[in-house]
Structure 1
Amino acid sequence: MSQPSEPVKGNILIIDDTPNNVRLLSTLLTNHGYDVRGVINGEIGLRAARSAIPDLILLDISMPQMNGYEVCQSLKSDALTQDVPVIFISAFNEVTDKVKAFEVGGVDYITKPFQWAEVLARVENQLKICLLQKQLQMRNQQLQLEIQERVKVETALQMANEKLQGLANQDGLTGTSNRRHFDEYLQRWWILLTDAGSIALILYDVDFFKAFNDHYGHLEGDRCLQRLVQATQKAIDTIAPPHALLARYGGEEFGVILPQADRDLAQSVAQAIQSHVNMAAIPHQKSTIQDTVTVSLGIACIDFTAAKEPTALIAQADEALYLAKSAGRNRIVHYDAAKNS
C-alpha cells in the first residue's frame, strides 16, 4: 500500500538568470517539500507570477534587460502580486545593495554563495510570516463580518424596540398618543420646565357623544373620533408650538399638552381646534346645538413660579372643561377666567 504524500509546504517561484542556481535551489527546496518553479529572466518571471500566484519569490538582482529591483517594483505595483513576499538572492554584499532591496519591497536578502541551511531557514521563516498574515487577514475579515452581522441584529432589535415603544404609546383606535404616553410626556416636561417657563393643557371632548353612538352606532362613533383627531392634528400643525402633544385622554375626551405656551397661545390653539372640527362637518343629528359634531374645551396654564404638581394642571383643565359643558357646550373656557368670574 502506498503511503499518503506529504502536503506541499508552499509554492515558490525562482527568478535567476543562472540556470545552475535555479537547478540547485529547485532541488533543495523540492526535497524539503516545496512546490518549485524556476525561470531565467525577469519578463518570464513576471508572467509566471501573474499566471499562478506563488507563496514566495526568490529573486536574483543581477539579470540582463530587467534587473531584480525592477522586477520587484513591477510585482509590487500589480494588485495580483503586490502581497507576495520577495527574498532577494545576490552576490552583492554591500549595505547599499541590501538597503535598495528593502526599499523596492523585498522582505529578506540572501547572499551568494548560498549556505543551504540559511536558505531553508529564511524561506521557512518568510512562509510562516506569510501564513500568519493570511490567517490574521482572514480573522480580521471574519471579525468584520461578525461586526456587520451584529450591527444588523442590533439595528433590527432597536427598530423592533422603537416600534414596540411606539405601539405602547399609541391609541389603537385613533393612532394618536394614549393616556400612558400623555402622563409620561407631561411629567417629563414638568421636570424640564420646573425652574422657568410655563406649560398649558387643553382638555376637550365631543358634545353629546353618547347620543351620537346611540343614533349612528359604535362603528360610526369610532370613525367620528378618528376624524376628530385628524382635524385636531391639522390645527396643532398649523398654530401649536413645537413639542405639542395630542393624546386620547379617555373615551371621547382628548388632551393637548403645550410646553412653553402661555395663556394667549393656548387660547389660539383651542380656537383653531374648534374651527377645524367645525370645518370637518361631521353630521350629528342628535346634537341640540347644531347638526354637526362640536367640541367643548377647557384650558389651564401654569407658570412655574409657583410649585405645583402635574395633577394640578390636569385638575384645572378638567374643571374648565366641566364649566364649558355646563355653560352650554361648543365653547372654550379658560380656568383662570372662570375662577375670577
Structure 2
Amino acid sequence: MKAESKLIQGEILVVDDQPDNLLLLSTMLTMEGYQVREVISGKLALRVVKATLPDLILLDINMPEMSGYEVCQQLKADSDTKDIPIIFVSASHYALDKVKAFNCGGNDYITKPFQMEEVSVRIKNQLAIRRLQVELTAKNTDLENEIRHRQKIEGELLKLNQQLKILATVDGLTKVANRYYFDEMFEREWRQSNREKSSLSLILCDVDFFKNYNDYFGHQAGDLCLKQVAQAISEVVQRPMDLVARYGGEEFVVLLPQTPAASALQLAEKIRHKVHKLNLYHPLSATSDRVSLSLGVAGIVASSKHSKEQFLAIADQALYQAKQLGRNRVILGSLS
C-alpha cells in the first residue's frame, strides 16, 4: 500500500470559481496524498501554471472572464504546458459539451455531482498515462545515445507501448474501449462513410437510475453492475468492425459501420433485452425492478450536409426522449 501511495502522488491544480467546489476537491485530494493548489479563475490559472507546472489540472468549464475551454486551448497551444493532463469537471451532461471538451484538448470529463471514487480513479489513470509517456520519451533518448544496447531498449519500449496502448484505449473498469478510443474510431468511420457513401449508425445507452443503484448497494456493487452491463452489450455486438465503448459514467456507446438505422434499431432492442435478462435487482428504479437501459439510436450516410457532432447529438436527443418517455426503451432519432 505504501508503494502505491508513492506512485500516485503528484501536484494537482484545481480551477473553479465556486469556493465550495474548491474546498471539497482540495480536502478530498489532500487526504489521498496529493499536493493541491487552488485558483478561482481561468486567467489566474494560466499565471500559476506558468510559475510551476502541475502534474494534472482539474478544470471547471463555466467561469467568468475566461471559460475552461479557453484555458485548455491556451495550455495545449504552449509547448511547455501542452502535455499536462486536463480533466474537465462540469455540471453539463450534454454530448456536445463533452465533445467540445475533448476537441479542445481535454483528456477526460467528469460530470457534477461527482463521486470521489470516480474522480480518484480518473486522476490515477491520467497520471499513469503521463508517467508512461515521460518514461517512453526517456527511453527513446537512451536509444539514440546508446546504439549498442538497441535490442534491449527496444524490448523495453515495446512493453511500455503495449501498456500505454491499454491505458490509452481501454476503460479500466469495464474493459471495453474508452472515450478516447471511441472518439478516434468515430472520426475514422465518419470519414470512411463519407468517402464510400456507406451507412453509419450509433447507439447511446444509459443505465436507468444508476445513481440510485449505486447509493443503495454501494460503489463496489455499482462497479460490478457496469462490468456486467458492458459484457452484456459486448455479447450482442459481435462483428469485429463494431465498437463498444464506455462513454462516461453509466453511459455506453456502440459504433456500427456499414449499418443502416433499421438494423441498429433491432440491435439496440437486443441489447436492451440482454441487459434486462441479467436480472440485476434494482429496488430503486422507477421503471423496472431490474437494471434496465434507455437507448438512443441514430443512422446516417455521412456527407458535408451534417457534422459528426450533429450526428452524435441526434443519438443523444433520442436517448433523452427515451428517458422522458419512461426509460427502459429504445428511441430512433431523426435528422429532420
**TM-score, with normalisation over the residues of structure 2?**
0.53
Deviations 1:284-329 (A, max 9, x none): 0111222110000000111125532211111000000000010110
What is the aligned partner in structure 2 of residue 199 from structure 1?
200
Structure 1 pair 155–198 and aligned structure 2 pair: CA distance change class (3 A): farther
What is the aligned partner in structure 2 of residue 298 from structure 1?
296
What is the aligned partner in structure 2 of residue 185 from structure 1?
185
Deviations 1:76-130 (A, max 9, x none): xxxxxxxxxxxxxxxxxxxxxxxxxxxxxxxxxxxxxxxxxxxxxxxxxxxxxxx
Q: Percent identity?
A: 42
What is the aligned partner in structure 2 of residue 173 from structure 1?
173
| Corresponding letter in the other structure for 1:212 | Y
- Are positions 1:253 and 2:254 aligned together? no
Alignment partners' CA distance in 2, 1:227 and 1:320: 24
Q: CA deviation at 1:150?
A: 3.9
Deviations 1:182-206 (A, max 9, x none): 1111011112221221211100111
Alignment partners' CA distance in 2, 1:203 and 1:231: 15
Structure 1 pair 162–309 and aligned structure 2 pair: CA distance change class (3 A): farther
Alignment partners' CA distance in 2, 1:152 and 1:193: 43
Alignment partners' CA distance in 2, 1:283 and 1:328: 18
Unaligned runs of 5+ in 1: 1-145
Structure 1 pair 270–148 and aligned structure 2 pair: CA distance change class (3 A): farther
The SS at the match of 2:223 is helix
Alignment partners' CA distance in 1, 2:316 and 2:249: 14
What is the aligned partner in structure 2 of residue 314 from structure 1?
312
Deviations 1:32-54 (A, max 9, x none): xxxxxxxxxxxxxxxxxxxxxxx
Structure 1 pair 156–249 and aligned structure 2 pair: CA distance change class (3 A): same
| Corresponding letter in the other structure for 2:300 | I
Q: CA deviation at 1:156?
A: 4.3
Alignment partners' CA distance in 2, 1:172 and 1:181: 13
Unaligned runs of 5+ in 2: 1-145
Alignment partners' CA distance in 1, 2:155 and 2:261: 43
Alignment partners' CA distance in 2, 1:320 and 1:171: 25
Alignment partners' CA distance in 1, 2:147 and 2:320: 58
Alignment partners' CA distance in 1, 2:155 and 2:193: 33
What is the aligned partner in structure 2 of residue 102 from structure 1?
none
What is the aligned partner in structure 1 of residue 234 from structure 2?
233
Q: CA deviation at 1:234?
A: 0.7
Deviations 1:146-174 (A, max 9, x none): 99974564344224213211211121211
Alignment of 1:141-156 (within 5 A): 150-151=150-151, 153-156=153-156
What is the aligned partner in structure 2 of residue 164 from structure 1?
164
Alignment partners' CA distance in 1, 2:230 and 2:199: 25
Alignment partners' CA distance in 2, 1:153 and 1:265: 48
Contact 2:193–2:301, Cα closer than 8 Å, also in 1: no
What is the aligned partner in structure 2 of residue 266 from structure 1?
264
| Corresponding letter in the other structure for 2:205 | Y
What is the aligned partner in structure 2 of residue 331 from structure 1?
329
The SS at the match of 1:167 is helix
Contact 2:268–2:295, Cα closer than 8 Å, also in 1: yes
The SS at the match of 1:301 is strand
Contact 2:194–2:302, Cα closer than 8 Å, also in 1: yes
Alignment partners' CA distance in 2, 1:250 and 1:218: 16
The SS at the match of 1:280 is coil
The SS at the match of 1:174 is coil
Deviations 1:18-40 (A, max 9, x none): xxxxxxxxxxxxxxxxxxxxxxx
Alignment of 1:30-69 (within 5 A): none
Q: CA deviation at 1:209?
A: 0.9
Deviations 1:263-287 (A, max 9, x none): 1221122112112101211110111
What is the aligned partner in structure 2 of residue 219 from structure 1?
220
The SS at the match of 2:322 is helix
Contact 2:293–2:328, Cα closer than 8 Å, also in 1: yes
Alignment partners' CA distance in 2, 1:307 and 1:155: 47
Alignment partners' CA distance in 1, 2:295 and 2:179: 18
Structure 1 pair 263–221 and aligned structure 2 pair: CA distance change class (3 A): same
**TM-score, with normalisation over the residues of structure 1?**
0.52
Alignment partners' CA distance in 1, 2:189 and 2:162: 21
Alignment partners' CA distance in 1, 2:161 and 2:306: 34
What is the aligned partner in structure 2 of residue 127 from structure 1?
none
The SS at the match of 1:248 is strand
Alignment partners' CA distance in 1, 2:311 and 2:303: 14
Deviations 1:60-88 (A, max 9, x none): xxxxxxxxxxxxxxxxxxxxxxxxxxxxx
Alignment partners' CA distance in 2, 1:317 and 1:200: 9
Q: CA deviation at 1:255?
A: 0.5
